[in-house]
A and B are shown apart, each in its own frame.
Chain A
Amino acid sequence: MNERPTPPEGSEARFRRVFAHLQPVADYAARRGSSDPEAIAAETMAIAWRRLDRVPVDDPRPWLFVTARNLLMAERRRSSRRSQADRALARPEATPAVESTDPAVTRALRALPERDREALLLIAWEDLTPARAAEALGIAPVAFRVRLLRARRRFARSLAADGLPNTPDVLEVKST
């Protein structure tokens, strides 16, 4: 007999709390340039259900973002293979990794190394605390703070070089 296993008691209620973060996961994927953020969010949730015992219930967002990021990387690999195949047809290249509503910010973000950019965006766009963001990046909170400080400094410098005058934030970062 090949029965489908029944979920443990309370699994659905637990998963519902995780599932409540569907929209933030879709937003995360969209802001990282996914061509199909809804599909990424749905797949992330399906994985969360299959591995529910590993998903922290108090705040599952770091776990969900890590999973979504891995799916995004797979999507980009597929897209990159496709664009190689389509090059003869002069199709546009893969979508950019990040797109903001402010062109200068987009340029400054693209100038950052990916890990610095991700540290900044987890705080500024995804509203994670530094401790949660560290979890999402798989590094110690202390290492994250150092990375964030460096990223803020580079970002502010890059923005300043693009025409923004030195701002209190730049000074604040330098004095920290």
Chain B
Amino acid sequence: MNAMDRLRASRPASVPIEADREALFDRIVATPPSGAGARPARRRRKLVLVAAVGIAVTLTAGTAVAVSTNLFGWHTDDTFIKDPRVWRKLYRDATHELRLPPGMAWPYRTLAPHTITNRSEPGGMAVAISQTAWECYWTEALRANDAQAAGQAQAALTDLVRHHMVVAPAGSPENVAPPAGTRPPFMIYASDGGLGYVKHNYALAAAGDPSGVAQSCRANRGDLQVPPVR
């Protein structure tokens, strides 16, 4: 028997649940169906009103921009870069728009030889670096009980999520690009819940649980040198 088969064979047997499943189901669905339902009604109404005004303002402003530029909606980007100098220039430009944790320098990155990519990729790379760096910093800050550093990381990541991360429509091709009014740099997420998961991890970290951001830091940091929290 090989190691994986032996591991499978060693799985502890399932212990049937003793509780009355139907009763549990009924008890759960008898509670409010979403987190919003748990809030007091007055606060909820206020939030709805603020959200409605926000959406109206955004729609009005967004439509004005879209009409003025005559470029509305997601499209495929067929403008490719093959010159590493162009790639590095775009990467450098992106780094000026983004922040890193205190004491950290932007790592050198360039376009791999015999490779082409689209124009948003260098900026996306810079966003990913900033994101991972702040996640690692947040993890450290929470473990060190440094509320100030944790707050700084949370603010930086909130800014990244709000201004530099976008979700492509479902079924988009690899070379999809956001509407022309979208200000670079940005990272494009597929419409598979990935960004939702990222936000979930940030909500956990904001509540003091670093497990999600720590996981992401470990998985993505690669050669990034994130300085310790000071």
CB distance from B6 to the nearest CB of A (A): 6
Interface positions of A from 25 to 48, Cβ below 8 Å from B: 26-27, 30-31, 37-38, 41-42, 45-46
CB pair A138 B6 closer than 8 Å: no
Q: Mark A130-148, 1 if CB is under 8 A from B, else 0.
A: 0000010111100100010
Closest A residue by C-beta to B209: A70
CB pair A52 B33 closer than 8 Å: yes
CB pair B201 A23 closer than 8 Å: no
* A87 part of interface (Cβ distance < 8 Å): no
CB distance from A1 to the nearest CB of B (A): 7
CB distance from B27 to the nearest CB of A (A): 9
Contact residues of A: prevailing secondary structure: helix
* B67 part of interface (Cβ distance < 8 Å): no
* B170 part of interface (Cβ distance < 8 Å): no
**In the complex, what distance in Å separates the CA atom of A6 from the CA atom of B1?**
54
Interface positions of B from 96 to 147, Cβ below 8 Å from A: none
Measured between beta carbons, the chain A residues less than 8 angstroms from B219 are 137-140, 143, 147
Known: A138-B219, A169-B3. A15 touches B29 (CB 8 A): yes
Q: Mark A38-79, 1 if CB is under 8 A from B, else 0.
A: 100110011001111110100000000000011001100000
CB pair A101 B41 closer than 8 Å: no
Known: A124-B4, A167-B1. A23 touches B14 (CB 8 A): yes
Closest B residue by C-beta to A7: B33
Residue from the list B12, B37, B40, B218 in contact with A31, Cβ < 8 A: B12
Interface positions of B from 160 to 206, Cβ below 8 Å from A: 193, 196-197, 200-201, 204
* B46 part of interface (Cβ distance < 8 Å): no
Residue from the list A49, A106, A160 in contact with B33, Cβ < 8 A: A49
CB pair B211 A105 closer than 8 Å: no
Measured between beta carbons, the chain B residues less than 8 angstroms from A46 are 28, 31
Interface positions of A from 115 to 156, Cβ below 8 Å from B: 115, 120, 124-125, 135, 137-140, 143, 147, 152, 155-156
Measured between beta carbons, the chain B residues less than 8 angstroms from A3 are 41
CB distance from A156 to the nearest CB of B (A): 4
Measured between beta carbons, the chain B residues less than 8 angstroms from A101 are 9-13
CB pair A156 B29 closer than 8 Å: no
* A111 part of interface (Cβ distance < 8 Å): no
Residue from the list A2, A124, A172 in contact with B41, Cβ < 8 A: A2
CB pair A125 B11 closer than 8 Å: yes
Measured between beta carbons, the chain A residues less than 8 angstroms from B215 are 115, 137-139
Interface positions of B from 12 to 37, Cβ below 8 Å from A: 12-19, 21, 24-25, 28-29, 31-37
Extra contacts, 15 of them, besides A19-B21, A50-B37, A167-B2 (Cβ < 8 A), are: A6-B33, A22-B17, A26-B15, A31-B11, A38-B19, A42-B24, A46-B28, A52-B33, A73-B209, A101-B9, A139-B219, A155-B7, A156-B2, A168-B2, A172-B2
- 21 contacting pairs across A/B (C-beta < 8 A): A1-B41, A3-B41, A5-B33, A8-B33, A12-B29, A15-B29, A19-B28, A23-B14, A23-B16, A26-B17, A30-B15, A31-B11, A51-B34, A52-B34, A54-B193, A70-B211, A73-B209, A102-B6, A143-B219, A155-B3, A156-B4
